[in-house]
Amino acid sequence: MSQLLAGKTALVLGVANKWSLAYAISAAFVREGASLILTYQSERQRQTVEELGAELRASKVFPCDVTKPEEVDQLVSVLKQATPSVEALVHSIAFANREDLSRPFLETGRDGFLLAQEVSAYSLVSISRAISPLMVNGGSVTALTYLGSTRVVQNYNVMGVAKASLEASMRYLASDLGPKNIRVNAISAGPVKTASARAIKDFSKVLDGVAALAPLRRNTDPAEVADTAVFLASDLGRGVTGNIVYVDGGFQIIGLGLGA
């Protein structure tokens, strides 16, 4: 079978460990022939991500805390040395304070609200602005989102509001970057047990509820999210921009289910 991403360089932000959605996406990108570049947030994560990068056969691993403009600028400079162009960018980053993912949304303070917005939504804008000039052959930007953006999911709270902002940002970016043949989309993944997800109170109950009610009667496999990311980054997705693709076993269509 032909490799769908042969000749493309992909920059993936958000690999923390083997359970990260970004890890599954990176593995699928390499399988499809992409040249992979990873980033890590802080010195604390450097060794882990470098080891994962070696395993994934990433060509480079660079630091980038998306809340630090100087690190985003530095990433652009090192990328310019490392590669003539970038064809795919994956934004697989989110953060909110743990207490904001367990108490009523009404209790969300200003700092926690703004933190979630900055890391989880504004970073898509800043990183797209920084990286899109390197997409000289056109390209694809893919962000990861969740149904809590448009529906109330208990305990998802401030992150749901940040995902609404991320999704709206994705659409405005798709409009701005479309004339440069850069497509911007989001994948709305069903719940997957990752480090970030574990911060949400009662997350295992969410997994059980989704598996009982989703049309496919099971939880989402990260490999399914990854294959959709391959599609969006590849030429097969060339007509798709400004979209949210749900990879959630169909859960988003359910209004009321009683399980089976």
Q: What minimum distance in Å lies between the beta carbon of 1 and ligand NAP?
A: 27
Catalytic residue among 23, 40, 146, 246: 146
* Residue number with CB closer to ligand NAP (3 or 71): 71
Whether 156 is a known active-site residue: answer: yes
Asked if residue 9 lies in contact with residue 80, where contact means CB atoms within 8 angstroms, the answer is no
Q: Which is nearest to 124 in space by CA: 114, 132, 133? A: 132
Active site residue 172: no
The answer for residues whose C-beta is within 8 angstroms of residue 125's C-beta and 6 or more apart is 169, 173
* Residue 169 binds ligand NAP (CB under 6 A): no
Catalytic residue chosen out of the listed positions 23, 40, 156, 246: 156
Asked if 38 contacts 15 with a C-beta cutoff of 8 angstroms, the reply is yes
Query: By C-beta, is 3 or 150 nearer to ligand NAP?
Result: 150
Per-residue binding string, ligand NAP, 100-139, x by CB under 6 A, is -------------------x--------------------
Q: Binding to ligand NAP (CB under 6 A): which residues in 50-89? A: 65-67
**Of residues 113, 146, 156, 231, which one binds ligand NAP by CB under 6 A?**
146
The 8-class DSSP code of residue 23 comes to H
Beta bridge partners of 246: 188
Angle at 144 between CA 108 and CA 44, to 5 degrees: 75
Mutual angle of helices 157-177 and 123-131, in 10-degree steps: 30
The residues of the shown chain that bind ligand NAP, judged by CB under 6 A, are 14-16, 20-22, 41-42, 45, 65-67, 92-95, 119, 144-146, 189, 191-192, 194-197
Write out the catalytic residue numbers: 146, 156
